[in-house]
Amino acid sequence: MTKFNYLIIGNSAGAIGCIEGLRSVDKEGTLALISEEAYHTYSRALLPYYLSGIISLENIYYRPPDFYQKFNVTPLLGKKAVRINFKSKEVELANGEQVGYEKLLLATGASTLTPPLTGLDKKNIFGFLSLNNTLQIEKILDQVKNVVILGGGVIGLMAAEVLNLTAAEVLKKRGLNVWVVELAERILAPVIDETASKILEALFQENGIEILTKT
């Protein structure tokens, strides 16, 4: 079993920030990261831009290809951590491998909140959180006509605020019929006030995107 001074579970913003901070104070300690996805570190915020075709896949990676090498990190990519033994200081991977550590950081982020609805086990239902999700969505876009987005929150609507693009708009651009279903009385309720919600809802409707609130 390989043992590292520092072990990070995660390969995204939290993990990368930690690596850069750590290496500014300890250049020698052995350091590894474990990531469920097999990709070089990428920006989730850029996924809508990739899906819309604004940027290419190479542009979602926000650190150079030699990042791990330069920061003396052992990347254990495409490996899922399934158990932590805090007593023996070991992380068990899905393939049965054990990775030892002295200090461990959990930078595992968030996961898609799946509402308790029946039928969610059917095909063509995805989250929109990871590159894997994005590639799956991209793969079937040409075969579908109607898209329902569950959740009128930040990721569904404002994922790419800077360019005034949203996941819903991205899909609409491809000529699909798009509905946004939101449980609350208005979209983005925790983030903006009622007036702003109304302005945005009107904008979406103008662009042919149906917003169904209280639904």
List contacts with ligand FAD (CB under 6 A). Answer: 9-15, 34-37, 44-45, 47-48, 80-81, 107-110, 128-129, 155, 159
Give least dist CB 126 to ligand FAD, A: 12
Give least dist CB 212 to ligand FAD, A: 21
State how far the Cα of 195 lies from the Cα of 201, in Å rounded to an integer. 10
State how far the Cα of 52 lies from the Cα of 203, in Å rounded to an integer. 19
Give least dist CB 151 to ligand FAD, A: 12
Nearer to ligand FAD, 118 or 164 (CB): 164
Nearer to ligand FAD, 17 or 208 (CB): 17
State how far the Cα of 136 lies from the Cα of 156, in Å rounded to an integer. 16
Nearer to ligand FAD, 34 or 211 (CB): 34
Which position's Cβ is nearest ligand FAD? 109
CA distances from 194 to 49, 158, 167, 184, 187 (A): 28, 16, 21, 12, 9
Catalogue the E-assigned strands of 81-168: 81-85, 90-93, 98-106, 146-150
